[in-house]
Structure 1
Amino acid sequence: MKVVNEKYKNEYLFFLKTIILATFWLSVNCYSQEKSIEKITFSGAKKTKAHVLKKILKSKENKVLDSIVLNEDMIRLKRLPAISNAYFKVLFSEGKCNVIVTVEENFTIIPEVNFHKTINQKLAYRIGVGEYNFLGRNMTLGGFYQYNGFDSYGINFRAPTLFSAKWGVLLSHQNWTSEEPLYFDSESANYKYQNISYEALALYQHNFKNQFQFGINFFKEKYNYLNGSTSSDVPTELNVDKKLLKLIYTFDDLDYNYQYINGLKNEFHGQYVTSENEYQNDFLIFWNDFFYFKRVGKKGNWANRLRFGLSSNDDTPFAPFALDNNLNLRGVGILVDRGTGSVVLNSEYRYTLYEKKWFVLQGNIFTDVGTWRKPGGALSDFVDSDNVRMYSGIGLRFINKKIFNAIFRIDYGHGLTKNASKGLVFGIGQYF
């Protein structure tokens, strides 16, 4: 019996050694089969510098090939203004591989011509131009001139990878003048408003999904009374120097396929503004935009934006959150109210009606709903039916797939709540 047991024991030990050796051999063999990237080349990059694109990629030459990282790299490239589409193929040879990345470039010198109505229904226009791939280096340089009864202009420079793949800079200057309504004691007045600003932000991309912008803005605000009601508590003239500290955090997990978007995105804006005058205290303001996009079938796209924002709750006509056609509710009108808090949900279903080569005609149906906290009011203002506005409507998008952000939109919104307005809203780019 003892001999038999020894026999089984020896067979068991032999079997165990065989398993261990086989596992070790497979591990070594599998490791040795890992391919390293010998070379990364780009096809289709005519204007964009190849070394700029290579710097953006997480995949690097002489590093191990990782298909998951490569797929993320293609999404990185498609997020660039210069690139409309990107894909890769891998050629294997003797333990190494070559990665060929094919990109389809956008036309990135974009003129801007825009006509709109002012709050007193006068026709205004804005002209400008932006180069979104300046010098082929993934930098943006742009400027505009606007006339709405007053002259305005602005210039901006953005280089997200100027210093490295993670660090960049944004610089801008703007001299903006417009006629703005201020609301107080159930009355309103129109003021000439001027904002002269200089801004510098650092841009930092922590990883594939998380990005930060932070910096400072020096600006001067001027208010001059034009017409309307007056009050001893509201000055007819105001001229204030201010400083604004800014932080923007973006979580971006969106995947783009031309006019279609899929995934999640969250963008947080925080600002602290300091000023020295008796009518405006230092104040904090933040707002958070949550985006959700989902492909529906081959031609549909469900798009949503939820915005929640609060500021210091001063009882002042200079409240920062505006109720406006071009910002939150389509059809509501131009600067119809202000508040110190805002909750807005925009939801729309986009459907491709026609597509051929570079051109896309897209239709949409939408619902916009929002509510505001009055200056000096309570959080209960958000659920007060008098502060809730709902609009619904339809729209069209005329899209050029080969030009960055070449989307002309037109929407018609009709109010569903009491004393609501209605109207058309024009613009460049998707509403959100």
Structure 2
Amino acid sequence: MKQLITITLLCLTFAHAQEYKVADLKVQGNKKLKTSFVKKISNIKAGVVLDSSVIEADIKLLKRLPSIAHAYYQVFPAGDNSYNVFYNIEENFTIIPSANVYTTNDDEFAYRLGLYEFNLFGQNMTFGGFYQKDIYSSYALNFRAPYLFSRQLGLAINYQDLTTQEPVFFDNTTADYKYNNNSTEVLALFQLNFNNRFEIGVNYFTEDYEYKFGAISPDIPQELRVHKLLYKLIYEYNTLDYDFQYVEGFRSILNFQYVTSRNETQLPDFLIGWNDFQYFKRFGAKGNWANRLRLGVATNNDTPFAPFSVDNNLNIRGVGNTIDRGTAAIVLNTEYRQTLYEKGWFSLQGNAFVDAGSWRNPGGDFGDFSESQNIRVYPGIGLRFIHKRIFNAIFRIDYGIGITDNSTQGLVFGIGQYF
């Protein structure tokens, strides 16, 4: 029936689009998600020309929302050369716990536990936070409402108090510092059109470094507290199309930041930017190839507090907890996901991956990318336990094994796909 309705609509659109109008948009299947919200963000409205391309774009947008597991449409005659359009919604359960756990063969153990509501007030708003234990305790609160003011304009507010033990690298030695980052961020969210969106805002934060143990140097402070202001711009180009756990298409996310210190005599201002290129391809009914390439560069200050880190939970599975830093980075993550079992709401995926990356040393040059001590290559395998009716309810287990010099190996647990 759906295929017949779709074919009929296509014929009507391409033959006499100007003669047929939308009598009404009706929303079915939604329970928690407000009908008024679906109509607010949809381009199909009563009185507009019946256009299959506009309807398809609306459906793709709906399937990207955390609150929706799946969506499809139907079209029925309403008389007088007009048609009723029905958007059929299959909702996600959206009050979701989050968890990330990671270990290495060096007996490192850290975890992050959170709880988020992804459909607050039925308006597709996200609110929640997390608690993290990585030697020290940390927490954060996040609010995000991309359609708060209109289909195009929204708001995000984030607060974070993050404390970790961070290695600092200098003169071929290492020291460990207790690092605290306390930040408040406000972002304006703007969706230009279906494929393009922007975020722009400001983040005020305080960084606090306290020496714990390891090497010392008269040039490296053992205590450092600095107030900073960060101006942020994010641009995303997105053509991804979702079908439950499967993804196809291309996405590019550019993140550019300018950071200025409020303590003028301590740390210089710097720029940092990176771009994530993501490409997903379906293979047959059950295969999915996923790729992420990150290119990042920052002001090349010769400092042990360089911004790009090599880390288990960020970029290289199995490598360990912040084992190196740099002022530029190239990271490639590629994996093939195969559905091994699927019935009703449950799906089991297996995956094989390769994570690889290299970094520019602080104060170094781009030739550092080819230095063997900066290159990390970690192949591995994993499993995904997926609940298809709960947003992001993907429990993942990955085991990465390093094949480059001085490598480690380890497990990485988490909620959601790695990328």
TM-score over 0.5 (shorter chain): yes
1:305 paired to 2:292? yes
Q: State the SS of the aligned residue for 1:47.
A: coil
- What one-letter code is carried by the residue in structure 2 that aligns with 1:48? L
In 2, Cα distance between equivalents of 1:358 and 1:87: 18
Match 1:70 to one of 33, 55, 60: 55
Q: Per the alignment, in what secondary structure is the counterpart of residue 207 of structure 1? A: coil
Mapping of residues 156-235 of structure 1, within 5 Å: 156-235=142-221
- 1:398 corresponding residue in structure 2: 385
Instruction: Mark the CA change 1:339 to 1:119 in structure 2 (over 3 Å): closer, same or farther.
Output: farther
Q: Which residue number in structure 2 is paired with residue 265 of structure 1?
A: 251
**Mapped pair 1:90 → 2:57:** no
CA contact (8 A) 1:119 1:179 kept: no
My pick for the range that moved more, 288-297 or 378-387, is: 378-387
Q: Which has the higher contact order (CA 8 A, sep 6+)?
A: 2
Shift of the 122–323 alpha-carbon distance from structure 1 to 2, 3 Å rule, reads: closer
Which digits, 9 at most, give the CA deviation of each residue in 1:268-294, with x for residues without a partner? Answer: 000000013555210000000000100
Who is 2:368 aligned against?
381
What residue number does 2:124 align with? 138
User: Which of 316, 321, 339 is the aligned partner of 1:329?
Assistant: 316
Looking at structure 1, the residues matched to 42 and 272 of structure 2 have their Cα atoms a distance apart, in angstroms, of 35
Tell me the TM-score normalised to structure 2 length. Answer: 0.93
Going from structure 1 to structure 2, the CA distance change for 1:186 and 1:249 (only over 3 Å counts) comes to same
- Which residue does the alignment assign to 2:3? none
Identity %: 55
Please report the RMSD computed on the Cα atoms of aligned residues, expressed in angstroms.
Answer: 1.6
Q: Who is 1:128 aligned against?
A: 114
Q: Distance in 2 between matches of 1:278 and 1:232?
A: 17
CA contact (8 A) 1:189 1:228 kept: yes
| 8 Å CA contact retained: 1:119, 1:334 | no
Kindly state the Cα deviation for residue 346 of structure 1 after the two structures are TM-superposed: 0.7
Q: Is the 8 A contact 2:102 2:313 kept in 1?
A: no
Q: How far apart, in 2, do the equivalents of 1:44 and 1:388 lie?
A: 50
| Deviation readout 1:169-212 (Å, 9 max, x if unpaired) | 00011111111111111111111111110100000000000000
Alpha-carbon distance, 1:156 to partner: 0.9
Specify the SS of the correspondent of 1:420: coil
Does 2:36 correspond to 1:51?
Answer: yes
1:110 aligns with 2:110: no
Q: Verify the 8 A CA contact 1:201 1:215 in the aligned structure 2.
A: yes
Q: In the alignment, is the contact (CA less than 8 A) between 1:130 and 1:143 conserved in 2?
A: yes
How far apart in 1 are the matches of 2:343 and 2:16? 47
1:7-31 CA-to-partner distances (Å, cap 9, x unmatched) read xxxxxxxxxxxxxxxxxxxxxxx65
| 1:25 alignment partner in structure 2 | none
Aligned-pair CA distance for 1:386: 2.8
1:366–1:392 Cα contact (<8 Å) kept: yes
Partners of 2:403 and 2:17 in 1: how far apart? 66
Amino acid at match of 2:175: A
Matched, 1:42 2:44: no
Match of 2:272 in 1: 285
- 1:48 alignment partner, SS class: coil
Amino acid of the structure 2 residue aligned with 1:192: K
**Alignment partners' CA distance in 1, 2:267 and 2:155:** 31
- Where 2:36 maps in the other structure, the secondary structure is helix
**CA distance in 1 between partners of 2:102 and 2:191 (Å):** 36
Is this contact kept in 1: 2:102–2:412, CA < 8 A? no
1:281 aligns to what SS in structure 2?
coil
| Structure 2 partner of 1:246 | 232
Q: Deviations over 1:249-275 (max 9, x none)?
A: 000000000010000000000000001
1:430 equivalent in alignment to 2:417: yes
Q: Among 284, 298, 316, which residue is 2:303 paired with?
A: 316
Structure whose alpha-carbon radius of gyration is higher? 1
| AA aligned opposite 2:113 | I
**Equivalence for 1:366:** 353
> Which one-letter code corresponds to 1:84 in the other structure?
A
Q: Bigger shift: 316-325 or 125-134?
A: 125-134
Structure 2 gaps, min length 5: 1-14
State the Cα deviation string for residues 337-395 of structure 1 (Å, max 9, x = none): 00000001111100000001011100011111111100000011112233222111111
Q: Tell me the distance in 2 between the aligned counterparts of 1:313 and 1:399.
A: 42
Q: TM (normalized to structure 1)? A: 0.90
1:48-72 Cα deviation digits (max 9, x unpaired): 0001011111222110010011011
Residues 358 and 413 of structure 1: is their aligned pair in 2 closer, same or farther, counting only changes over 3 Å?
A: same
Residue identity matched to 2:31? K
Contact between 1:264 and 1:291, CA under 8 Å: does it hold in 2?
yes
Shift of 1:245: 0.2
Q: Following TM superposition, by how much is the alpha carbon of 1:127 offset from its aligned partner in structure 2, in angstroms? A: 2.9
Q: Report if the CA contact (8 A) 1:119-1:335 is conserved.
A: no
Give unmatched runs, 5+ long, in structure 1.
Answer: 1-29
Q: Relative to structure 1, is the Cα distance of residues 384 and 118 closer, same or farther in structure 2, using a 3 angstrom cutoff?
A: closer
Deviation at 1:114, TM superposition (A): 4.2
Distance between the aligned counterparts of 1:258 and 1:312, measured in 2? 41
**Secondary structure at 1:280's aligned position in 2?**
coil
Structure-2 residue corresponding to 1:101: 87
Partner of 1:354: 341
Alpha-carbon distance, 1:418 to partner: 2.2
Change (3 A) 1:118 1:145: farther
Matched residue type, 2:180: Q
